[in-house]
Amino acid sequence: MLFILDCDIASTFAKINRIDLLGRIFQKSSFHITNSVYAELMRSKRAGFLFPDRIFSRFTLISLEDEELEIFQEISRDERIHYGEAEGLSICKNRNAVFLTNDQVVVRFCEEKGINVLSLKDVLLYIAEKRVLGHKEMTQIIKEIETKDNTTIKSREDILNLYESQSD
């Protein structure tokens, strides 16, 4: 399976130094970032942040193919979608790939347009369902995401409730 990451979700896992989780739950898959995401991450790197290097070392760049340019132009006309997201979404739509994002507006857009998408919540739920991490470690991951990425995991209880029948 081909996965395209937006800047936010790639940064989330890089900031907590757990990019490895994506490969553990989606084995035999390839993960990529677009040129626009690369450029955005380079701005963070130039500002002194270290997390972009973790992304660059794990994810390869993927570029638009000629037949995706028209899709890109169509998607980028929608004011809800940034150009970096439009690039990734164009690839996903054309190649039947999955877009990974933290942005609920983008999730809704993908659902409207028939583009495969998984949110941060979906990824964390999948990790919990498959017991890739124990309850304590998942609790720690959520806390780290909220602290290091300044993100609120609104579905925290839904995720942790999946561990009810499991003891650590």
Domain 2-119 has CATH 2.60.120.560: no
pLDDT given at position 164: 81
pTM recorded for the entire structure: 0.93
Average pLDDT value for residue range 14-28: 95
Q: Is the pLDDT of residue 166 over 60?
A: no
pLDDT given at position 122: 97
Q: Is the pLDDT of residue 82 over 90?
A: yes
Domain boundaries, the chain: 2-119, 122-161
Q: Amino acid letter at 111?
A: E
Average pLDDT, the chain: 95
Long-range (24+ apart) CB contacts under 8 A made by 17-22 are 17/54, 18/141, 18/144, 19/54, 19/55, 19/58, 19/59, 21/123, 21/127, 21/132, 21/133, 21/141, 22/100, 22/123
pLDDT given at position 168: 46
Query: What are the pLDDT digits (tens) for 27-73?
Result: 999 999 999 999 999 999 999 999 999 999 999 999 999 999 999 99
What is the C-alpha end-to-end distance of the chain, expressed in Å?
31
Q: Quick one: pLDDT band at residue 165, thresholds 50, 70, 90?
A: low
